[in-house]
Amino acid sequence: MRVPFRLAWNSTASYLALLAASFGVALFVSYIFGPQINDYAYDSMFRAYRPPKPAQPESVVLAIDELTLMDCGGIRGIRRPIAQAMRLLAPVKPKVVAVDVILADSGNPAEDAALAEAFHATPNLVLSTELIDGGRIWEDPRPEFAGGARLGHVSTLMDKDGVTRSILIDQHNARVQRRALALEAFLLSRGGRTPRESLTFTRFRGGLVSAEIQVGEVTVPVLEDRREHRRLMRVRYFPPDLTVAPVSMKRLLDDPSLAAQFAGKVVFVGVTANSEIHDRLFTPFGLTPGTEINAAAFETMAQGMFLTDVGTLWENLISLGLLVAIGLAFRHLPGWWAYGTGGLLLLGAILIPYLFFLNLRVFPFATLFLVAWLGTLTAASYYHLVVRRNLRIEQASRERYQQAMHFVTHEMRTPLSAIQGSSELISRYLLTEEKRKQIALLINSESKRLARMVEIFLNVERLSAGQMELKQEAISVKQMMELCVERVSPLAERKHIVITLEPVPEELNLTGDRELVEYACYNLLTNAVKYSPQRTAVTASAWKDDSWIHIAVKDQGIGMDQKEVKHIFQKFYRTKKAEESGEAGTGIGLSIVQQIVDQHGGRIDVTSRPGAGSCFTVVMAARVAAGVPAAAKRD
C-alpha cells in the first residue's frame, strides 16, 4: 500500500519545513541583533585567547605619560620635551617616527622653532592630522612642523558600542585623502613604496566588500563600506602583558641611555596619561591610549597577523551544514543519543567561531549560534512530539491487538464450540452413516463460517488502519437480508423468537464490500435475538427514502436509556442490563458494525427505551448498478 509512504513523506516534508523556517528566523534575528552579539563574542575571544608571545616587535611607544605632563606643565607645554626627545633619538637612527599629537596651533615661538628644527632633522617622519567640522576641514600640523614629513590621520573608528576594533585605512574630504598614521608608518618602514590596491569582491553583511592593499610582499586585507565611503582594517590586539611596555618620555630625557631601545624601531610618540581622557579609547582589552592603538595596528601589518572576515556565503553554508547535522541527528539517532549529539553540535556552534579566531579568521558568532540554537530547539521539539505520537500509535496498536483477541474470543466461540462438539460426537459414539454425514457437513459449514469471520475481521482492521481500499461490489439488499435472517433463524428458534422479514423491494441495491455489509446486518440481527426475551419478535425491514436506503432491525428486548445509547458503539462497552442478561459478549460487535458503516459513508440511527426494545437503522447511499448478481447463499 502507498498510504504509509505518503504519511512518511508528509512527516519528512513538515520536518524539513520547520528546520527551514528556523533557519530563516535565525538569519532574520541575526540581521537585527547580530552585530551586537558578534562584537561581544569577538571581544570575549580576545580576552579568552592566550596567544604565544609575538615576534620581536618593530615598534615602540614613546609615552607622554603623567610624569612628562607634570614636568612640562601640561599638554600645552609638551613641544619642548618632544623636541628634546627627537634630538636624543636622532643618533640611534629609528626607522620611522610617528607623532600622534596634533600640532595645529601656534605656541611659544622659541619652542616651536626648536621643535621644527628637530622634526626637520628626523628622517621618515609622520605627523598626525584629523578631520574636523563634520569631516569638512583637515586639521593639519603647522607648516613649519610639516616640512618634508608625511601626514597620517588619527581619526578613530568606534563601533556602535563605543569599542575601537578597527582603524580607518584612509579618510578624505572633498579634496584631500589621507592614509592612517599606522599605514603611513608602515609604508615608510618598507621603503616608502606607493601601495597597490585592488578589490576581491567577497561580500559581507552590512554591504561590505573585501579589498587588498599590496605593500611590497605584504598584502593588507581591508573591508570596504561603499555606502559610507570608508575602508577599515581589524587591529590584532595582544594582552597588555605580551606587549612592549611604553617608554616614558620623562625617563628618556632624564636618562638618555634609554634611547638605545629605539634603534631601528618604528617609534610612536603619543599621550598615554590617564588624565587625557579624550585620547584613551575602549578596545577589547579596556581603555587604551590612542597611540598604543596605532602601534598595535602597525604591528598587525608588520607581523602579517591580519584578522580577516569570513564571507557571507561561507557563513551561511557552514550554518546550514550545522543545521543539517542537527536535523539528521534528531531524525535518525535514538533517545538520549539524539539529545547528546544535539548538545555537542550546539557546543560546536560556540567553538567554531573561536577555532576560526585562532586561525586569524573572524566568523560571525550570532548567525551560527542562533541557527544551532533554534535548529536544536526545533528538531528536539519535533523529535519529542514524534516520539509521543509514535508512543500513542504503539499504544493504539497494542489496544487494537487486544481488541482483536477479544473479538476472536467473542465471535468465534460459537463455531468453534460447534466444531468441537461435533468432532467429539464422531469420536465417542457409533453413529449411522447418515448422522456422520450430517455432522461432517456441520463441521465443514462452521469451519467456513469461521474462516469468513477471520477474513472479515482482518478486512475491518485494515480498513481502519488505511491499509486497504474498500471493495466496490453490487449488493442486492433483499437477498442479503434473506441470507442473514436464514443464518440467524437457528439461534432464534432456540429462544422461540419469531424473526419477520418485511417485504423488501427488488430495486434496493447498494455498492460496497458485500461481506462487510452482510456481516453488519447479521450482527444487528444476532444482537436483537441475543438480548430479547423468549417468545418475542424481531422485525427486519428495508426501504428507500430519496437517495438513501434504510435497513432496520427492531426487537422487543431489554432496551436502553439515552445515556447508554450514546456509548453503545464504544469498544467493550456493555449496558448494565446486557451484563445482567447472562448473554456472553465483549461489547466489540457494534463498534465493528459502526466501522463498516462509516467506511461505506453511512450512519446508524438508534431508537430505544428501557423495557420497550430497540431499533437499529443503517442508512447508506443507494447506488444502482446494472446487472446486480444474486448474493451467493452461504453455508
User: By percentage, how much of the chain surpasses pLDDT 90?
Assistant: 41
User: By percentage, how much of the chain surpasses pLDDT 70?
Assistant: 85
Assess if residue 156 is contained within a domain.
yes
Assess if residue 578 is contained within a domain.
yes
pLDDT at 322: 94
Higher-pLDDT residue of 606 and 383 is 606
- 409 lies in the same domain as 517: no
* Rg for the chain, CA atoms, rounded: 48
User: Which of 171-175, 226-230, 629-633 is predicted least confidently?
Assistant: 629-633
Mean pLDDT of 336-346: 90
Q: Which of 304, 323, 354 is the last residue of a domain?
A: 304
User: Which of 132-136, 152-156, 176-180, 203-207 is predicted least confidently?
Assistant: 203-207
Assess if residue 261 is contained within a domain.
yes
User: Which of 219-228, 346-355, 427-436, 534-543 is predicted least confidently?
Assistant: 427-436
Assess if residue 22 is contained within a domain.
yes
- 299 lies in the same domain as 399: no
User: Which of 239-248, 281-290, 455-464, 615-624 is predicted least confidently?
Assistant: 455-464
Assess if residue 244 is contained within a domain.
yes
- 65 lies in the same domain as 137: yes
Q: Which residues contact 571 (CB under 8 A, 6 or more apart)?
A: 403, 587, 588, 591
Amino acid at 473: E
- 37 lies in the same domain as 70: no
pLDDT at 574: 59
Q: Which of 469, 503, 525 is the last residue of a domain?
A: 469
**Residue 443 pLDDT greater than 50, yes or no:** yes
pLDDT at 626: 46
Residue (of 427, 476, 416, 478) closest to 450 by Cα position: 416
Predicted confidence band of residue 630 (pLDDT cuts 50, 70, 90) = very low
CATH number reported for the structural domain that contains residue 561 in this entry:
3.30.565.10
Please tell me the distance from the alpha carbon of residue 263 to that of residue 241, in angstroms, as a whole number.
Answer: 22
Label each residue of 556-579 as H, E or C: CCCCCCHHHHCCCCCCCCCCHHHH
Please tell me the distance from the alpha carbon of residue 487 to that of residue 521, in angstroms, as a whole number.
Answer: 11
Are the beta carbons of 528 and 555 closer than 8 angstroms?
yes
Predicted confidence band of residue 7 (pLDDT cuts 50, 70, 90) = very low
Assess if residue 231 is contained within a domain.
no
- 127 lies in the same domain as 20: no
Please tell me the distance from the alpha carbon of residue 231 to that of residue 635, in angstroms, as a whole number.
Answer: 96
Mean pLDDT of 74-85: 92
pLDDT tens-digit profile of 16-73?
A: 899 999 999 999 999 888 889 999 999 999 998 888 877 789 999 999 999 999 998 8
User: Which of 121-130, 153-162, 317-326 is predicted least confidently?
Assistant: 153-162
Predicted confidence band of residue 631 (pLDDT cuts 50, 70, 90) = very low
Exposure string of 82-101, with b = 16+ CB inside 10 Å and e = fewer, is bbbbbbbbeeeebbbbbbbb
**Residue 259 pLDDT greater than 80, yes or no:** yes
In this structure, the strands spanning 498-501 and 537-545 are parallel
- 515 lies in the same domain as 374: no
Residue (of 83, 172, 180, 171) closest to 128 by Cα position: 180
pLDDT at 545: 87
pLDDT at 5: 37
- 142 lies in the same domain as 290: yes
- 95 lies in the same domain as 182: yes
Assess if residue 223 is contained within a domain.
no
- 157 lies in the same domain as 266: yes
Mean pLDDT of 284-299: 93
Name the grid cell of 538.
Answer: 424481531
pLDDT at 29: 92
Average pLDDT, the chain: 84
**Residue 539 pLDDT greater than 90, yes or no:** yes
pLDDT at 244: 81
pLDDT tens-digit profile of 584-604?
A: 555 567 877 888 888 888 999
pLDDT at 97: 96
Please tell me the distance from the alpha carbon of residue 210 to that of residue 207, in angstroms, as a whole number.
Answer: 10
Assess if residue 397 is contained within a domain.
yes
- What domain range includes position 459? 1-52+312-469
Higher-pLDDT residue of 407 and 629 is 407
Mean pLDDT of 121-132: 92
- 297 lies in the same domain as 317: no
Compute the residue count for the chain: 635
Helix (H) or strand (E) holding 387: helix 365-428
Higher-pLDDT residue of 456 and 7 is 456
Report the C-alpha dihedral over residues 417, 419, 425, 430, rounded to 10 degrees: 170
- 451 lies in the same domain as 330: yes
Helix (H) or strand (E) holding 494: helix 477-494
pLDDT at 459: 60
Q: Which of 469, 499, 519 is the last residue of a domain?
A: 469
Mean pLDDT of 107-132: 92
Region of 545 on the Ramachandran plot (φ > 0 left; ψ -120 to 50 alpha; else beta): beta
- 87 lies in the same domain as 184: yes
In the chain, the number of structural domains is 3
pLDDT at 571: 65
Query: DSSP label at 163?
Result: B
